[in-house]
């Protein structure tokens, strides 16, 4: 049993593939890199496999990530006043 769920383009030659599969008689979710090049086309060793029994916890962890968590950090603006947390405070 193999069911491809989707893929995310990593770069010109690599995609990340997510699939539900049955490996060694144990169902799970596999997230692996797939390369297409002149030398080699296929899955690399890079990836992770989550057993079906662990998938609810994995799903809970993924769903706990908010859009706010994924925002890029703001770059420092010249002349911007530092906040107390950003300011280095020397020893007394």
Give residue limits of the domains in the chain. 1-49
Which pLDDT does position 79 carry in this prediction?
57
CA angle 12, 43, 10 (to 5 degrees): 30
Which pLDDT does position 73 carry in this prediction?
82
Q: pLDDT tens string for the chain (92 positions)?
A: 899 999 999 999 999 999 999 989 999 999 999 999 999 999 998 899 999 999 999 999 999 999 999 888 877 666 565 555 555 555 54
Mean pLDDT, the chain, as a whole number? 86
Q: Where are the alpha helices (DSSP H) in the chain?
A: 55-63
């Amino acid at each position: 049993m193999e069911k491809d769920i989707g893929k995310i383009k990593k770069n010109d030659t690599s995609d990340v593939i997510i699939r539900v599969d049955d490996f060694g008689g144990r169902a799970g979710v596999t997230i692996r890199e797939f390369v297409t090049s002149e030398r080699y086309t296929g899955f690399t060793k890079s990836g992770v496999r989550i057993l079906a029994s662990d998938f609810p916890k994995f799903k809970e962890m993924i769903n706990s990530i908010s859009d706010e968590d994924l925002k890029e950090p703001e770059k420092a603006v010249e002349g911007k006043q530092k906040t107390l947390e950003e300011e280095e405070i020397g020893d007394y």
